[in-house]
Amino acid sequence: MERNNVSIFVSSLKKRYKDREVLRDLTFSVPAGTIYALLGSNGAGKTTTVRILTTQLRPDGGTARVRGFDVTREPEKVHQVISVTGQFSCLDESLTGTENLLLMGRLRHLAAPVRSAVRLLEYFDLSSHADRRVSGWSGGMKRKLDIAMSLVGSPDVLFLDEPTTGLDPQSRLAMWQIVRRLRDGGMTVLLTTQYLEEAEQLADQIGILSEGKILAEGTPARLKSLLPRGAVRFVFYSPKDLERAASLLGTPAGKWRTSCLPEKCALTVFTDGRADTLGELFCRLREDSISVREFSEQSPSLEDVFLTMIKEEKSYGNNKTKL
């Protein structure tokens, strides 16, 4: 089942914190030399997955192997082949860039840690700040150094937990460039992200993680084909109007998939993106005398759509028992 070219293999992984089940039944695998993106919102279990795969956390059940080494039984062997950059920068702020890299190089017992530090600083365009203390660096530069530290000793498998969260758009683009180059150099990368765009830009495979399970998996193109073309959002004057609109337009009575935001009195309707469809939506609302307070067009997020699908599944079940 597990072939030689599989770098990361996860099967039925489970983890529970006290009364909260974080990973329910997580299964996925990542071929060597590819980028896999775990896409999900906060609390979906992304960081927990990374922490288990990097031996920082013990799973309650299931199997996880990195380059064929079991993360619970052979952590020392896993350490030889992995590197991890966490969600928050983990640098020594009062050390210089060079010193931070030297620390990693020495702990990895490189033959020439200084040369490796110089080369990485050059590669990441940080040479000008090499001998300045990190505390004075910008957020983007710190993040780059953080990743540079993970690359000391050229690990086979790199884990990046939300590598661009909190970065400005320019640094984000630079980071994407870096991650792509690493993959092209043969490295396997598992990254987690909250941003569909990021997953789409970088990943060879995307796994959508929700409530500790992979909801859907595939190449960005395949997942995109499942996406509705457009989404529009209506805001109504009263919760009653919202309810009426939702039952009018949404499945099963109507023909569109919808997602409700009761706190904001808002309804998102996923469409085929055609202008005529918009007209049809407005007509329906007008026929039932539901007045619209605000209207906006939105780009549908992959995750939204899947969350809506799950919600539908659940509420169908509930409705049936009620009826």
Partner 1 sequence: METTKRSYSDTFTIAWRCLLLSRRNPETFLTSILLPALMMLLFVALFDGLVHVGGASYTAYIVPGVLIQCAAQGSSTTAVMVNQDITSGVMSRLSTLPVRQRSLLSGHVLEACGRSLVTSAVVLLIALLLGFRPAFSLTGLGISLLLLSGMILALSWMAVTVGILSKSPQGASSLSSLAIVLPYLSSGFVPTEHLPPLLRTFARHQPMTPVIDSLRAALAGHPADMGLLAAAFLWCILLSSVFYAASVLLLRKKLHG
Residues lying near partner 1 in the complex (CB under 8 A) are found at 54-58, 76, 79-80, 82-84, 86, 88, 90, 92, 94-95, 99, 103-104, 106-109, 133
Burial of 208 (0-12, 13-18, 19+ CB in 10 A): buried
Other beta carbons within 10 angstroms of residue 50's beta carbon come to 23
Minimum CB separation from partner 1 for residue 175, in Å? 18
Q: Which is nearer to partner 1, 81 or 292 (CB)?
A: 81
Minimum CB separation from partner 1 for residue 204, in Å? 24
Q: Which is nearer to partner 1, 90 or 310 (CB)?
A: 90
Minimum CB separation from partner 1 for residue 30, in Å? 18
CA angle at 47 for the pair 39 and 37, rounded to the nearest 5°: 30
Minimum CB separation from partner 1 for residue 65, in Å? 16
Minimum CB separation from partner 1 for residue 45, in Å? 15
Minimum CB separation from partner 1 for residue 269, in Å? 42
CA dihedral 155, 156, 161, 162 (to 10 degrees): 100
Nearest of 297, 235, 226, 295 to residue 260 by alpha carbon: 235
Q: 2-21 in b/e burial notation, b at 16+ Cβ within 10 A?
A: eeeebbbbbeebbbeeeeee
Q: Which is nearer to partner 1, 152 or 248 (CB)?
A: 152
Q: Which is nearer to partner 1, 106 or 255 (CB)?
A: 106
Q: Which is nearer to partner 1, 79 or 180 (CB)?
A: 79
Q: Which is nearer to partner 1, 153 or 228 (CB)?
A: 153
Minimum CB separation from partner 1 for residue 257, in Å? 39
Q: Are 198 and 37 in contact (CB under 8 A)?
A: yes
Minimum CB separation from partner 1 for residue 99, in Å? 6
Q: Give one DSSP letter per residue of 265-288, joined into a string.
A: TEEEEEE---HHHHHHHHHHHHHT
Q: Give one DSSP letter per residue of 96-156, joined into a string.
A: BHHHHHHHHHHHTT-S-HHHHHHHHHHHTT-GGGTTSBGGGS-HHHHHHHHHHHHHTT--S
Burial of 204 (0-12, 13-18, 19+ CB in 10 A): middle
Minimum CB separation from partner 1 for residue 71, in Å? 11
Q: Which is nearer to partner 1, 18 or 322 (CB)?
A: 18
N- to C-terminal Cα distance for the chain? 45
Tokens, residue 233 = 């959002």
Q: Which is nearer to partner 1, 162 or 304 (CB)?
A: 162
Q: Are 187 and 35 in contact (CB under 8 A)?
A: no
Q: Compute the distance between CA of residue 128 and CA of residue 179 in angstroms, rounded to an integer.
A: 22
Q: Compute the distance between CA of residue 211 and CA of residue 217 in angstroms, rounded to an integer.
A: 15
Q: Which is nearer to partner 1, 151 or 302 (CB)?
A: 151
